[in-house]
Copies of this chain bind each other. A is one copy, B any other.
Amino acid sequence: MKIMKKLQFASDYQEGAHPNIINRLVQTNMDQTPGYGTDAICASARKRIQEACQCDASVYFLSGGTQTNATIIGAILSSYQGVIAPTSGHVSVHEAGAIEFGGHKVLPIPSTLGKITAQQIEQYMQDFEHDLNHEHMVMPGMVYLSQPTEYGTLYSKAELSAIYSVCKKYSMPLYIDGARLAYALASQQNDISLPELAQLCDIFYIGGTKCGALIGEAVVMPNPHLIPHFFTIMKQNGALLAKGRLLGIQFDELFKDNLYMHIGDTAIQYAQKITQTLKENGYPLYLETVTNQIFFYVNQPLLDRLSENVDLSFWEKADETHSIVRIATSWATQAKDVDALCKLLKEAKQNLM
């Protein structure tokens, strides 16, 4: 069955799952297991994640990013608290107000290429505490970041350590959205290992949906007692699957033989290759490519030409005549498609000169 004909580089969730996961679904299909994540497969997946993180964390499996963010943020904050997030953060923009639906304000800090700094958070907290009206304002109660960010950029270990220090200074849990974490782990520019990540925040999630799973995100709490009754909280948020093993299978396979550590490798290589082609052909980059997302400028004729043969993401207008567009590779991207894309990028630019 061929659903589309164009080259597909619009996002990193367009295919199914890593073959190991599909195989495991086939093999285990008629096994009988208890529900709600209490089965042996989920237990095994939890153990593998604990080992990969080198800590005795609590691990929970949820279905998707927005659900995970809303459930965690709602569970951590008191009613009068809000969550500090970059203005470009997923919770700030693209979750249809799920955080506010749960009763909490997102407190945006202006981001640069998806990132905010320890200094900005420190300044925000000082401004808040010095504001004579701060008891009439939403109290910052935690910090939300993404690694990689929505722009594919990465926090360095030094940057994240500095942020975490500020968070601890103000007793605000730090939560990291790792929807695309596999692409950070596979990046040459990344200097934060999974065990280090577990030491540099209070809670994070390991993205499955965009990183080789059919469905699922794995929440990791290095301090296993961070959120009491999280099972019930998941249920209340509609985030507890009856057939929890479906999620367990994803992560038991993703964390078998270190698969997750390398599942993003080809995506990164292909992203570098495409970036190289862009540079060689005079496409201005919007930012340096360090993970699997490539942002660059095109004028309208180029965009029209490319769009005939490739699905990519329009990101935003840059000026009257140029747009910023995004190409995303994934664990499933094929070499032949990358080659075809590079050829197309080259030809399009030459023909429109």
List the interface of chain A (C-beta within 8 A of B).
1-4, 8, 10-11, 13-17, 19, 22, 25-35, 39-41, 63-68, 70-71, 74-75, 78-80, 82, 93-98, 100-106, 132-133, 135-139, 209-210, 214-215, 228-229, 231-233, 235-243, 245-246, 314, 332
Flag if A79 contacts B236 (CB, 8 Å): yes
Asked whether, in the complex, the Cβ of B98 is within 8 Å of the Cβ of A237, the reply is yes
A10, A94, A132, A231: most-surrounded residue (chain B CB, <10 A): A94
Q: Are the C-beta atoms of A74 and B79 separated by less than 8 Å?
A: yes
A15 to chain B, nearest CB (A): 5
Are B30 and A332 within 8 A (Cβ)?
Answer: yes
Given A15-B30, A139-B229, A314-B132, decide whether A82 and B104 contact each other with a Cβ distance below 8 A: no
Asked whether A33 and B17 contact (CB < 8 A) given A66-B238, A98-B236, the answer is: no
8 Å CB contact of A135 from B1, B104, B235, B332: B235
Q: How far is the CA of A98 from the CA of B63 in the complex (A)?
A: 17
12 contacts between A and B (CB under 8 A): A22-B29, A63-B63, A67-B238, A80-B96, A80-B232, A97-B105, A100-B100, A101-B237, A105-B106, A135-B231, A136-B235, A139-B229
- Whether B101 pairs with A79 at a CB distance below 8 angstroms is yes
Select one of B63, B100, B137 contacting A94, CB under 8 A: B137
Task: Assess whether B3 is in contact with A31, with CB atoms less than 8 Å apart.
Answer: yes
CA distance A169 to B133 in the complex (A): 37
Beyond the given A8-B32, A93-B137, A210-B242, please list 14 additional residue pairs across the A-B interface where CB-CB is below 8 A: A3-B31, A13-B242, A16-B243, A16-B245, A17-B29, A67-B238, A80-B96, A82-B100, A94-B137, A96-B137, A100-B100, A101-B236, A102-B103, A103-B103
What chain B residues lie within 8 Å of A33 (beta carbons)?
3-4, 14
Residues of B near A138 (CB, < 8 A) are: 96-97, 100
Measured between C-beta atoms, what is the minimum distance from A163 to chain B in Å?
23
Q: How far is the CA of A279 from the CA of B64 in the complex (A)?
A: 46
Are B243 and A215 interface neighbours, CB within 8 A? yes
Cβ distance A64 to chain B, nearest Cβ, rounded Å: 6
- The reply to whether A136 and B8 form a contact with Cβ atoms under 8 Å apart is no
Per a CB cutoff under 8 Å, which of B1, B19, B235 touches A66?
B235
* Docked-complex contact B95 and A243, CB < 8 angstroms: no
Distance in angstroms from A37 CB to nearest chain B CB is 11
Question: What chain B residues lie within 8 Å of A3 (beta carbons)?
Answer: 31-33, 39-41
Of B1, B17, B66, B231, the residue contacting A240 (CB under 8 A) is B66
Q: Which residues does chain B contribute within 8 Å of A14, judged by CB atoms? A: 32-35
Tell whether, in the assembled complex, residue A82 and residue B105 are in contact, meaning their CB atoms are under 8 Å apart.
Answer: no
A29→B16 contact, CB < 8 A? yes
CB nearest neighbor in B for A231: B135
| Alpha-carbon separation in the docked complex, A277 to B98 (Å) | 51
Chain B residues with Cβ below 8 Å from A214 are: 25, 243, 246
Complexed CA–CA distance, A229 and B135 (Å): 8
**Please, which residues of chain B bring their CB within 8 A of the CB of A95?**
136, 235-236
